[in-house]
Every structure is written in structure tokens, then in C-alpha cells.
Structure 1
Amino acid sequence: MLGITQPAVSRALALLESDVGELLFDRGTMLPTAFGKIVLKHGAQVVNSFSDLSREITLLKGLEVGELVVAMGPYPAAISGQAAAALLSNEHPRLSIDLRVMNWVDAVEAAKGGHVDLAFADLSEAEGSADLDVRPVRRGAVTFFCRAGHPLPSRPGLTLSDCLDFPWVGPVVPGRVGRSLPAADKPYGCFDPVNQRFEPRIVTETFQAMTEMAMASDALAAALPFMVAAEISTGRLAPLIKAPFLTLNYGFIWRKARTLSPATRAYMDAVLKIESQLPPQPIDEIEI
């Protein structure tokens, strides 16, 4: 796994122990001694620092031979995240792009751990993190929708309470939104008091899966109106009621003090270009 032979490892270990002046690994069990644990602890920091140094140097190579890794939540991915990657690829065909659509919670953690160049996801928890920098892109209230022929659209005086009688499909919802939902023992989903997040009855990590599930069942989903305008106009989906308490609040997230690569900046610009052409207009963005 290390790419070097066992004798070479033994020689390197012996030299390191000679420099330190202490035994670092027990030869019987090959478990680290107390001194070995200290070396391992600080060694990991050195390796990480070297990795960041190598990354900084690689950034100078620019867009043409670089790599971009983006973690994105279901909604921003469907609205502009994937389209922005396509736009960027057209302009820089030799750029390697790795898009990872996932739950917004995992996207934020990926950014915090430095496993991706950028996260494009819900900002609710990232905004309060001392380890992350954020740039808002869009806020907006969503509308419920369902399959054509669903019993709800024809129900007079439709209210949120009516929507609780059917399963909801979508990603895990941030606590800021989940705490606004009724604590009712009904099919729509439930609030997780431990993680402080709402879990719809059917959890999905892509908007496409969410839409297909709604069209094939009695499950309800939610989106910004323009996201399902085509399906509604062709009669495959039907709009229900607005849900002002269910709001999207997404943007860019990256590890604090980490230099943004030219590819990352270009991707962010592409997202903002696409967002500016969509209704409603995104939040006014400060210069990156």
C-alpha cells in the first residue's frame, strides 16, 4: 500500500528511531509506543500540510490541466450546479470535473474536511461554522407538487394539514425548517430530535429521483415553481400549495483559509451566470 518494500520501511523506521532516540513501535506487536503515538499524531499534521502545499502549487497550473471536485445538494445541483459544470467543461475541455450529488449534510462535511474543492449546498449549519467560509447564492420558498390525478388538487380549501396525510419525498431538511413543521403522527415524515433535522417519509439525494417518485406514487414533493414548470404544463404533475416555511437557502461553502483554485472560481462564476437567468433572481453576490 505504501509503494515501498518492507525492508525499506524497516530501514526508514530505524533511522527515525535513531533521530528521536526512542523506540517508536513495539517489535512484538508492531503497535506504536507512547513516543510512536506522538510521532504519528504530528506526522499526520505534516502530511496534511504538505498535501495543502502541493495543492497550492498545483493551483498555479490553472484551468487547462487542473481538477475540480464539487459536492452539491439535490436542489442546487438540479437548479444550476450541474449546468454550470457543463458550461465550464465546454470552455475548458481538458479540465477534470468530479461532481458528487449528495445529502447537503454530507456535502458540508466534505467541505469541512477538505475532501472537495467546494460544496454547493444548504448554508444553515455552514454559516455558523468557524471552519468554513460561505457565499450565499439563492433563497426562496418552495411549492408542493404531486402526480396528475392525485386526490389533493381537487380538495377544496387545501391546507398544510391535508398534505400531512401523504408521504413526503425529498432530502433531509435542516433544523431551521424542520422545527417549523407540525409534530403530528402522520405519514408525511418525522423530526429527529437528536440531529435536529426533519426526515421526510421517503429520503432521496437527487431531485430527479424526487420527481419520479412523486409522479409514480401518492408522495408529495416540493420545489421552486420553475423547476417543475415543464412537467406541470404537460400535465404530468400538479401544483398544490406554497410552503413559505420550507425555504431553500443555498450557496458556496469551502474550508476557511483555503485558496480557491482558478477552476473553483470559474465554476462559481458559471453558477452565478446561470442563476442570474433564472426566476426569482438570486441574492446579490459580493465579489469573490
Structure 2
Amino acid sequence: MHIDLRQLRHFVALAEQRSFVAAAAAVNLSQSAFSRSIQALEHNAGFQLVDRASKDLPPTKQGLVLLEHARRLLRQAQDLNSEIGRLNGAEIGTLRFGCGPAPAGQLVPRAVAAFIADYPKARVHFQVDNWQDLNQRLINEDIEFFVADTRRFEADPDYRIIRLRPQRMTFCCRPDHPLAGRESLTCSDLFSYPLATTFRPPNIRKLLTEYSGRRDFMPSVECEHTYALLNVVMHSDAIAIGNALNLEPYFLKGGLSRLQPLDMPEHLEELHTRYGVVHRQGRALSSLAKAMIERIEQIDEGLADHLAGLPAEHVGV
């Protein structure tokens, strides 16, 4: 069988997108050209790759075996490309990593900006998603590492964690909200209004359930994207909770107001992020990945120091 990395890349895209239309768009091909590529791979392999009779196009039994090898070969090809660039004295190649919605707000974009300034010949692709899906991509070797909440991985020997500086979570509302500026604010006041938040970090679910006084607290609006949630808050009576770094620009410009219930201690562990860089134990990182992680750590330290120097009324720290 002739191995065509381009066709293997198309098959991996089809397995991820579960749609010929979406997969073709993901690899910047017309649908007809993409279909021909998959058909050619099937012809070379001698078997059908996906079950076309099923709506979500699951890989066939043989297709699953090929998919596993395809992902490994593509990753090895990427590593080889990066290593050749290193040997030639120029960092080239593609770096693929992931991050959660909150780190994607400020930390990761600033780190990427610093990285591309130092490595202009490298390509960067970072996937913004929840930690469960990012972990699956890490296991599949689609990405080298991700930046997200680390609680799920800290006790697992299959993972290595690089801890980042904790940031305080704080509640916020629009400036003309009925609760804005109230000095004697309580949790009862807070939870009498709709809450817009994400439930992915386990500390948020625990915090909201405990201090709402409800057995199973459910938010009125749930979304993984911070800026989408904050836009809901700025145009309604809803209240959000987010980390100080992402909320700082809104507080400083007067777009949002900070809320701090008197009966919720500010030192609670659940009120602080526990983000870090997560990668697999025993899986060597590329030189580009190591360079990006260095910049993430540098930017994280600088942002944490910046927040520490701001007035508490602005960032809640």
C-alpha cells in the first residue's frame, strides 16, 4: 500500500468532523476533491474507511486501525519536520496545542504573540475547547499539550502538569444592575438573579451549589465562551463569574461592576483557578512546544504580577 500523508490527513479530518462537507472545509478542499481523496485511500487500503449508511459516518473496524496509525504517522511527520528545521538552524514546522476558553481570553493569545515574534517561520494552531475534548485530542496525539484546569489530571501518573499562577474568580454584573454598588450584598441577593456561567471547572459547580443553598444549582445560561457570556451579562440582569484576568478590561473601562457577597469568604480555594499546562508522561515535547510553554509561563507570571498591583475594587484580588 502506498502511504500518502495528505490522504491520511483527510481521513483524520473526516473521523473528527463526521461529515464530508465539514471535513472538506476543515482541510480547505472542495467536497468533490475531498471525496476523491478518501475514495483513493479506500482503494489503496482495500477496504471501506467509514460506514456511509450511518448518519455520523463512524469508522469501520478496519478504518479504526488505519485511523490510529494515521494519527501516529502524521504526528511523526510533524516531529520530523520540526527536527529538520532545528538541525538547519531555523525553527520551522507546525505547533499544535489546545487551551480552555478562559486561558484563551488573554494568557494564550499573548503567549502566541510573543512566540511568533521569536519564531516567524513556525505555524501555530491552537484549539479552544473544554478540557474533556482537549484531553481526547492529547490522547489521540492531535496536540502536544493543552492549558486548562488541572484538577482532573494532578493525581494521574500518565500526565505531567506545569502549574500556573492561581487567579481569583469574581462575580460581575452590568454597571446599572440593581445589585451594582450595593455594600451589604449577600449570596441570597446574588442568586436571586439569573446566572450565566460555565460548569466545566469542578470548583465552580461546587461553589455555586454550596452558596446558593440549593441542592442542585443550575445556571440560567451556560456557555463555554467567556466573551459570549459577558455580552449576555452586559445586556441583561444576569450575573457572571469569571477570573480576574479576563474581567480586568471590563472593570477598568466601566463595562462591568464587581460583586462580592459578604457571606462568601474571599480566600476560598474554590474561588481560585487552578490552571496549568498538561501533557502526557513519557511523550517527548517538540522544541516548538517547549518554546511555547516557556512563553506561556513568562506571560502568566507577568500578568499575575500586573493583577497583583491593581486596586482590589477593579479585579477582586
Which TM-score band (shorter chain)?
A: 0.7 to 0.9
Q: Where does 1:197-236 land on structure 2 (aligned, <5 Å)?
A: 200-236=219-255
- Cα distance change, pair 72–40 in 1 and its aligned pair in 2 (3 A): closer
SS at match of 1:140: coil
Query: Residues 9, 80 of structure 1: CA spacing in aligned structure 2 closer, same or farther, 3 A cutoff?
Result: closer
1:69 paired with 2:106, answer: no
Tell me the CA shift for residue 126 of structure 1. Answer: 2.0
In 2 relative to 1, CA 264–156 (structure 1 residues): closer, same or farther, beyond 3 Å?
same
| Structure 1 Cα separation of the partners of residues 63 and 138 of structure 2 | 24
Contact 2:106 2:245 in 1 (8 A): no
Q: Give 1:237's aligned residue.
A: 256
Please list, as runs of the form range in 1=range in 2, the aligned pairs for 1:1-288 lying within 5 A after superposition.
Answer: 1=38, 3=40, 6=43, 9=45, 49-60=72-83, 61-62=85-86, 64-182=91-209, 190=216, 200-241=219-260, 242=266, 244=268, 245-280=270-305
Paired amino acid for 1:257: G
**Percentage identity across paired residues of the two chains:** 23
85-94 or 218-227, which deviates more: 218-227
Mapped contact 1:111–1:118 kept (Cα < 8 A): yes
Aligned CA-pair RMSD: 3.2
The alignment partner of 2:277 has SS state of strand
| SS in structure 2 at match of 1:277 | helix
Counterpart secondary structure, 2:120: coil
- Number of residue pairs matched? 247
Q: Cα 1:174–1:223, aligned 2, differ >3 Å: closer, same or farther?
A: closer
Cα offset, 1:254, TM superposition:
1.5
| In 2: Cα distance, 1:257 partner to 1:90 partner | 30
Q: Which structure carries more relative contact order (alpha carbon 8 Å, separation 6+)?
A: 1
TM-score (norm 2): 0.66
Judging by fraction of residues, say which structure has more strand: 1
- Partners of 2:120 and 2:106 in 1: CA distance: 22
Distance 1:48 1:234, change over 3 A: closer
TM-score after normalising by structure 1: 0.72
CA distance in 2, matches of 1:9, 1:106: 29
- Structure 2, unaligned runs of 5 or more: 1-37, 48-60, 261-265, 308-317
Asked if structure 1 preserves the Cα contact closer than 8 Å seen for 2:199 and 2:205, the reply is no
1:77 aligned counterpart, secondary structure:
coil
For structure 1, the residue ranges without an aligned partner over 5 or more in a row are 14-36, 192-198, 283-288
Where is the helix percentage greater, Structure 1 or Structure 2?
A: 2
2-structure distance, mates of 1:200, 1:280 = 32
